[in-house]
Structure 1
Amino acid sequence: MRAHKFFLTSLILAVWAFASPVSAASFEDPKYSLEVKDEAGTKTLRDAFTKGPAILHFWATWCPNCRVELPAMERFEDELKAQGLDGQFVVVALEDVPYGRIQSFLQDRLELERFTSYQAVDMQAVGTAFQVAAMPYTLFIDENGDVLGGIPGSLEWDAPQIKETFIGHLQGKDTIASGN
């Protein structure tokens, strides 16, 4: 079992490390002006980030893999906040339901009390702009807003190698751009 997890984690990191860029843009790119909402109201996606580099993650309540990985993502988000990296990990639900239902799903069904998720106001436009190919879908964005690459499918957010690599990305210690 442990060897299987190590292999899976290594495979995911290898795919991520050699992923070709999804798109070249900047935080000034029109796609970052698309709107998301949370309990405080509506804002642009650009305003959801405090700074780059960043990780942008898409999910949906109907996605079984999303439901499995969200508890580990809450722990990952807690770790980022403890390291002062909050605001660089933005999670967006692509759902055509009232925002309150998404929050109820997270809190009541998955028992996630601290997890933060936005909802795309126009899920079709956001999905198209960021070329969301599967659910869940994770994008890695540099400090300028350029999308470096993406990983379709669920991840083991608790795996030490994934946490180390992703936190390194957020701290600007990036290896994806150079392919190392």
Structure 2
Amino acid sequence: MDLDMMRAQKILLTSLFLAVWALISPVSAASFEDPKFSLELRDANGTKTLGEAFTKGPAILHFWATWCPNCRVELPAMERFEDELKAQGLDGQFVVVALEDVPYGRIQSFLQDRLGLERFTSYQAVDMQAMGTAFQVAAMPYTIFLDENGGVLGGIPGSLEWDAPQIQETFIGHLQGKGTIASGN
């Protein structure tokens, strides 16, 4: 099987998963007022709470780690996705968090020096165990969809094709407050 066929199958399966998941996934009663959103994040400018990292509306929360091979593969496409979100005025609704117990400078160096990601924004969980437990992160990478109040709509374990048009259309639709993920049906 060639790489294009494998990629097409992965995109199709991810799209199918999203459609089915949106139909059956219950909306959590959590909100941005929930204690888990008071967990701290670190970046080059210092610390802030997870709730402060989000600026408005529905959101996507993504967890990754430098030791995760699938994370390393998908990060360049995520940088392009983040650029597209900024171009559409949707920045602040896509928050990426490294779950690693290392100095933040090491994460930043990994992104810039090893992967060449100069524009990519990633926070680090100050308490990675508490953050992972609060959001029930069972795999790396892990992507979580939040409604406009911070309620967890559901999550997708594993890497995604962030450049795939179907994925971008679905995810951007969610961030704009339309589409199956945002409505939960």
Q: If the TM-score is normalised by the length of the shorter chain, which range does it land in?
A: over 0.9
1:104 aligned to 2:109? yes
Q: Which residue of 2 aligns with 1:8?
A: 10
Q: Which residue of 2 aligns with 1:145?
A: 150
* Structure 1 segments (4+ residues) deviating >6 Å: none
Q: Which residue of 1 aligns with 2:19?
A: 17
Aligned pairs, how many? 180
Instruction: Provide the rounded CA distance (Å) in 2 between the counterparts of 1:167 and 1:79.
Output: 9
Per the TM alignment, residue 99 of structure 1 is displaced from its structure 2 partner at its CA by 0.2
Q: Residue 171 of structure 2 is aligned with which of 166, 170, 173? A: 166
Instruction: Provide the rounded CA distance (Å) in 1 between the counterparts of 2:121 and 2:112.
Output: 10
- Is the alpha carbon distance of 1:45 and 1:23 closer, same or farther for their aligned partners in structure 2, counting shifts above 3 Å? same
Q: Residue 31 of structure 2 is aligned with which of 26, 35, 51? A: 26
Per the TM alignment, residue 10 of structure 1 is displaced from its structure 2 partner at its CA by 1.9
Q: Provide TM-score, normalisation by structure 2.
A: 0.93
Q: Which residue of 2 aligns with 1:120?
A: 125
Please tell me the root mean square deviation across aligned C-alpha atoms, in Å: 1.4
Q: Residue 161 of structure 2 is aligned with which of 149, 152, 156? A: 156
Instruction: Provide the rounded CA distance (Å) in 1 between the counterparts of 2:29 and 2:184.
Output: 16
Instruction: Provide the rounded CA distance (Å) in 1 between the counterparts of 2:54 and 2:135.
Output: 15
Per the TM alignment, residue 141 of structure 1 is displaced from its structure 2 partner at its CA by 0.4
Identity of aligned residues (%): 83
Answer yes or no: is the 8 Å Cα contact 2:141–2:157 preserved in 1.
Answer: yes
- Can you give the 5+ residue segments of structure 1 that lack an aligned partner in the other structure? none
Per the TM alignment, residue 21 of structure 1 is displaced from its structure 2 partner at its CA by 3.7
